Every structure is written in structure tokens, then in C-alpha cells.
């Protein structure tokens, strides 16, 4: 990762990579959504509501992956003082919060016809809601630090500590009796029929590429803002 420590080197890679990730991701998402809506059959138990899976599952995956990225970047900032670590963590926070919100909303819509309720305070739903609030807290902490021109050490520590919630989300359906269904996809295979499952990997890849494009755009914007701020400070002292 230290080869990207130079912002100019990072930008030379990020600029051409951003549109590729964005357009390919959008195309894959469109293919997955159209396939999920019009080609795959309804589930024999859940009926048409199962189609929300092609948005809900990628949103849940990226919400957790996003905080994992924040934790890794925060650790790199605290231990190795990587110059772009803080920028990367701040760039991930907003799309991570967005996908956490999409996960909660789509899950609620899915749960209404399946469970008969919009919300249940079970392990999986509650821990995902906590993750959403953690994102909001991280955004507030990092923004406050940036406005003061102070070090992002506090937000970095928060990013590492908040990662404790990720395994809780993952294993919540195993640790507690929960309304949320158990693990459907694992290393041993899937309990979802192949006729319904096949658009899901396309959707996962597409949304992941869109997430990457958003993060790259935000990193570029944050670096540009930092350069403008530094130039204004130099001008003020002249």
C-alpha cells in the first residue's frame, strides 16, 4: 500500500479507474436488476418479494465491507501514518452509511410481507442499525476534525473500535434466536435455488464497482480540497 503514499501517484491511477468502475458497475447492476425482476422465477415461499434480495444483499455486504475498509485505513493511519489513510477512511464513510441505510430500508420492505412486520428488534436488524449510527458518528467526528484542522487520531481510533460490530452482525443469526433468516450462502454452498441465485453475484460485483467509483471520486475531491486549503493558507501568510 505504501506505493500509493504519494497523492500524485494515487491520482494518476484513480482518475482513469473511476469511470471504468462507475460505468461497468452501473451496467452490471442494470443487468442484475432486469434479470431479477423479469427473468428469475418467484420463490415458492416468499413469492415476488424475494426479488428485493438483489438490492438488499449487496447493500448489507457493502455496509459491512465499508466499515471494514474504514477500520483498515484507520489502523494504517495509527500504526504506519499512511498519508492517504485518513482520506480513504473519510471517503468510505458516506457511501458506507448510504448502503447501510439502503440495507435497512430494503430489509424493512422485504420483512413486511415475509414476517408480517416492518421492524423487529432482533440481533441482525439491531446490529445493522447500530452500524448505521456508527457511520453517522464517524462522519461527524472526521468532519469536525477536518474543520478544526486537527489530527484525525480520534476518528481513527473510533474506526478501529467500531469494527467490533462487524462480526456481531455476521454471527448474530447464529448466536441468538432471531426472526431474520439464517445464513443462506456460505463456503459450503447455498440454500438458494440456482434459478433465483444467479443474478446475485452480478449484482454484488456491480454494486461493489459502483461503491469503489464513489470512494475514488470522494478521495479525489478530498485531496483537491486539501490542496486548495493549503494554497489559501500559504497565500494568507504571504
* pLDDT of amino acid 151: 57
In the chain, alpha helices (H): 7-38, 53-79, 85-115, 123-148, 153-162, 165-175, 194-197, 199-237
* pLDDT of amino acid 174: 74
* pLDDT of amino acid 122: 85
Using a cut of 0.85, tell me whether the model's pTM lies above it. yes
Dist. CA 85–CA 107, nearest whole Å: 32
Give the orientation angle of helix 123-148 with respect to helix 153-162, to 10 degrees: 170
Q: What is the distance of C-alpha 82 from the center of its chain?
A: 22
Q: Is 2 in contact with 82 (CB distance < 8 Å)?
A: yes
* pLDDT of amino acid 193: 78
* pLDDT of amino acid 104: 96
Dist. CA 91–CA 212, nearest whole Å: 10
Q: Is 11 in contact with 220 (CB distance < 8 Å)?
A: yes
Residues near 25 by Cβ (< 8 Å), separated by ≥ 6? 205, 206, 207, 208, 209, 210, 211, 212, 213
* pLDDT of amino acid 192: 78
Dist. CA 227–CA 234, nearest whole Å: 11
- pLDDT average per 10 residues of sequence, the chain (238 residues): 68 92 97 94 85 95 97 92 88 97 94 84 91 96 72 87 94 74 67 85 97 96 80 64
Q: Is 124 in contact with 141 (CB distance < 8 Å)?
A: no
Three-state secondary structure call for residue 116: coil
Amino acid at each position: 500500500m505504501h506505493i500509493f503514499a504519494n497523492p500524485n501517484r494515487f491520482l494518476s491511477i484513480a482518475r482513469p479507474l473511476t469511470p471504468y468502475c462507475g460505468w461497468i458497475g452501473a451496467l452490471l447492476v442494470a443487468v442484475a436488476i432486469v434479470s431479477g425482476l423479469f427473468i428469475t422465477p418467484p420463490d415458492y415461499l416468499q413469492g415476488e418479494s424475494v426479488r428485493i434480495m438483489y438490492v438488499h444483499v449487496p447493500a448489507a455486504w457493502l455496509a459491512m465491507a465499508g466499515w471494514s475498509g474504514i477500520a483498515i485505513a484507520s489502523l494504517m493511519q495509527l500504526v504506519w501514518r499512511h498519508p492517504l489513510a485518513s482520506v480513504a477512511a473519510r471517503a468510505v464513510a458516506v457511501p458506507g452509511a448510504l448502503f447501510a441505510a439502503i440495507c435497512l430500508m430494503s430489509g424493512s420492505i422485504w420483512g413486511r410481507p415475509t414476517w408480517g412486520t416492518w421492524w423487529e428488534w432482533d440481533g441482525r436488524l439491531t446490529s445493522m442499525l447500530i452500524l448505521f449510527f456508527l457511520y453517522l458518528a464517524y462522519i461527524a467526528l472526521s468532519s469536525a476534525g477536518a474543520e478544526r484542522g486537527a489530527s484525525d487520531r480520534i476518528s481513527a481510533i473510533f474506526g478501529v473500535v467500531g469494527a467490533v460490530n462487524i462480526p456481531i452482525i455476521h454471527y448474530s443469526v447464529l448466536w441468538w434466536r432471531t426472526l431474520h433468516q439464517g445464513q443462506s450462502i456460505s463456503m459450503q454452498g447455498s440454500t438458494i435455488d440456482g434459478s433465483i441465485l444467479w443474478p446475485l453475484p452480478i449484482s454484488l460485483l456491480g454494486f461493489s464497482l459502483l461503491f469503489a467509483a464513489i470512494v475514488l471520486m470522494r478521495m479525489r475531491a478530498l485531496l483537491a480540497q486539501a490542496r486548495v486549503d493549503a494554497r489559501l493558507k500559504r497565500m494568507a501568510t504571504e
